[in-house]
Amino acid sequence: MILIGIGASLPAPDGRAPRETCRAAAAALDAIPGLRLVALSRWWESAPLPPMPGAPWFVNGVARLEGSAPPEAVLEALQALEARFGRERPYPNAPRTLDLDLLDHHGAVVDSPRLQLPHPRLRGRGFVILPLAEVAPGWRHPLTGEDVATLAAALPPQELRPLAA
């Protein structure tokens, strides 16, 4: 199981709203050679973390994919998709047109300068854990062994809400 976090808070260069960008990105994930989209969470709206007064809220979701592409190849494909959707990186945690995070890749543990698995900041983030629970309710954190329900129960308060379909 490969888990990808999808998020956006700014309109895409073509003017498409963040939610539409996230939908298009999910469809594009299914077109990556060696990967197949098998589940997509509903979309969630969340305040930026850390809080940034005046910054737009994010639309977030999680995609579950199956496939044999190695994690480094998946990361390259995700970064190419971000660039295609106009992603810029002016400063850490900046509002963005698209953010794709490789959260987990078949339970692998990787700690390199380019890639860390599982994603080092997924714990404690409701905008990741709650949609992840929708697409992979049996998932366990590869390092701690905690199941996603335990992680969800331990979430700190966050400004977060599911969006209507």
**Does the annotation count 99 as an active-site position?**
yes
Per the CB < 8 A criterion, the answer to whether 97 and 86 are in contact is: yes
Dump the DSSP string for 12-72.
Answer: -TT---HHHHHHHHHHHHHTSTTEEEEEEPPPEEE--SS--TTPPPEEEEEEEEEE---HH
Tell me what the mean pLDDT of segment 63-85 comes to: 95
One of 96, 114, 123, 140 is an active-site residue; which one?
A: 96
**Does the annotation count 87 as an active-site position?**
yes
Return the pLDDT at 55: 87
Provide the domain limits for residue 98. Answer: 2-162
CATH at 32: 3.30.70.560
Return the pLDDT at 89: 74
7-60 pLDDT, tens digit per residue, is 999 999 999 999 999 999 999 999 999 999 999 999 999 998 878 888 899 999
47-59 pLDDT, tens digit per residue, is 988 788 888 999 9
One of 16, 30, 84, 99 is an active-site residue; which one?
A: 99
Return the pLDDT at 36: 96
Residue 67 has pLDDT above 70, yes or no: yes
Secondary structure of residue 149 in the 3-state scheme? helix
**Does the annotation count 101 as an active-site position?**
yes
50 upstream amide cis, omega within 30 of 0: yes
Return the pLDDT at 90: 66
87-106 pLDDT, tens digit per residue, is 887 667 678 899 999 999 99
Return the pLDDT at 52: 81
113-163 pLDDT, tens digit per residue, is 999 999 999 998 999 999 999 999 999 999 999 999 999 999 999 999 999
Q: Model-level pTM?
A: 0.95
One of 23, 64, 87, 125 is an active-site residue; which one?
A: 87
The tally of domains found in the chain comes to 1
**Does the annotation count 104 as an active-site position?**
no
